[in-house]
């Protein structure tokens, strides 16, 4: 099976003579099992017809912001969320200049600016345009923005001159995409269990003991693991976030006991378990059947009991072929406390963050972590987005990050 099977690809086509090659690229992608949505610029339609592209892709081709006869709006935001990758082939000098400067005057560039997936660009133009300082500058800017540039080849161009500017052949572009997704599928065939968010421990029907966890870190881990090919099961406390990847299975719970019960169902079949949830340490001994009224003269006393330690429970059941990762959110003696949890709970790795670090902890879109492993191995990371942090954590689990 091709690594592109089941992937959602946006194929952008711009106004260059090499647009005819995009038909072959489209056929290769569809044959590999990819779902392809073509976006073509108005000038692109002068070189290849939408009817041809729609027939091959099985989808209506998008060119304008609105469908002229119905007024239907084409959402560039939805396309950006849908895509696993975006490839623009051919990419003219004009389109790359607009991309580099954020000039969103057509559907293709607007979709590029909304894309969260990797973007691949295959330039195609005459040799003097390719060598012009403005084009070189724009390509360098796109590279700095994280765009993958598929270098054009040397050969005879539309002007009959010979030089660099000939778009890479469709088969070459296809191999670049296949290689990219093949390299990123290091968790294919694996089952990953992730806990996320807080737990709520009920005091009465309207009150609970909980914490400020948003679940953002756990869900970022889920999306990253799914993107790497894993089957992902998230056991989630009450959160407002959701997985971006539709393949992620989410099991919603409320209390620590409910979370443990779901984890024990999944853990025997899991290859990797990541305990990213902020589980309440204590729960009321009893829950009032009706709302406790504040009009009572006496202030109610709530007696607490310890909640089960989910990571430690799974650590006792862990097999030698399983990886168990814990989290430690600390406010003091951070390294000592995290190292103690790593040993005591039989973890293979623990992710430490501190509330003393600005931008880390609950509710933020960023995190600053230190990863500890048995034997005193430790790796510190700077403040990053939680999406990047998820990548770092999984790189450690899969061995892509070196041990320090």
Q: Mind telling me the catalytic residues?
A: 211
Closest CA to 394 of 279, 213, 232: 232
**Nearest 5°: CA angle at 145, between 143 and 149?**
30
CA distance 183 to 288: 54
Only one residue has tokens 């952008």, namely 12
CA distance 115 to 334: 38
Q: What DSSP character marks residue 229?
A: T
CA distance 301 to 305: 13
Residue 231, strand partner residues: 191
Only one residue has tokens 């079949």, namely 269
CA distance 269 to 314: 12
Closest CA to 182 of 23, 35, 7, 30: 7
Q: Distance of alpha carbon 66 from its chain centroid, rounded?
A: 29
Closest CA to 378 of 322, 328, 332, 331: 328
Closest CA to 217 of 176, 278, 266, 143: 278
Q: Are 212 and 294 in contact (CB under 8 A)?
A: no
Neighbours of 213 (CB within 10 A): 24
Q: What is the dihedral of CA 122, 127, 131, 135, to 10 degrees?
A: -50
């Amino acid at each position: 099976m091709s690594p592109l099977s089941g992937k959602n690809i946006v194929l952008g086509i711009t106004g260059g003579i090499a647009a005819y090659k995009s038909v072959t690229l489209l056929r290769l992608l569809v044959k590999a099992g990819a779902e392809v949505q073509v976006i073509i610029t108005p000038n692109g339609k002068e070189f290849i017809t939408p009817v041809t592209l729609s027939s091959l892709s099985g989808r209506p081709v998008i060119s304008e912001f609105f469908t002229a006869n119905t007024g239907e709006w084409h959402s560039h935001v939805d396309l950006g969320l849908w895509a696993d990758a975006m490839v623009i082939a051919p990419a003219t000098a004009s389109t790359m200049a607009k991309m580099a400067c954020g000039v969103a005057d057509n559907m293709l560039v607007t979709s590029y600016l909304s894309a969260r997936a990797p973007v691949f660009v295959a330039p195609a133009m005459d040799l003097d345009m390719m060598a012009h300082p403005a084009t070189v500058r724009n390509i360098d800017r796109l590279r700095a923005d994280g765009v993958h540039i598929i270098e054009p080849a040397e050969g005879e161009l539309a002007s009959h001159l010979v030089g660099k500017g000939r778009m890479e052949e469709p088969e070459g572009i296809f191999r670049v995409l296949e290689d990219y997704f093949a390299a990123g599928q290091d968790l294919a065939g694996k089952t990953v269990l992730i806990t996320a968010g807080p737990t709520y421990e009920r005091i009465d029907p309207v009150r609970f003991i909980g914490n400020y966890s948003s679940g953002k870190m756990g869900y970022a881990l889920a999306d990253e693991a799914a993107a790497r090919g894993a089957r992902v099961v998230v056991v989630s406390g009450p959160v407002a976030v959701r997985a971006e990847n539709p393949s992620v299975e989410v099991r919603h719970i409320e209390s620590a006991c409910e979370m443990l019960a779901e984890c024990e169902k999944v853990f025997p079949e899991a290859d990797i378990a990541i305990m990213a949830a902020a589980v309440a340490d204590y729960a009321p001994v009893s829950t009032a059947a009706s709302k406790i009224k504040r009009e009572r003269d006496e202030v109610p006393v709530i007696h607490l009991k310890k909640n089960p330690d989910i990571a430690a429970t799974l650590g006792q059941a862990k097999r030698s072929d399983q990886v168990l990762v814990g989290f430690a959110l600390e406010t003091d003696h951070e390294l000592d406390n995290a190292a103690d949890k790593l040993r005591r709970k039989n973890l293979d790795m623990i992710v430490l963050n501190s509330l003393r670090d600005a931008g880390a902890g609950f509710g933020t879109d960023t995190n600053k972590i230190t990863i500890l492993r048995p034997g005193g191995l430790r790796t510190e990371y700077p403040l990053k987005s939680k999406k990047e942090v998820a990548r770092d954590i999984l790189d450690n689990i899969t061995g892509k990050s070196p041990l320090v």
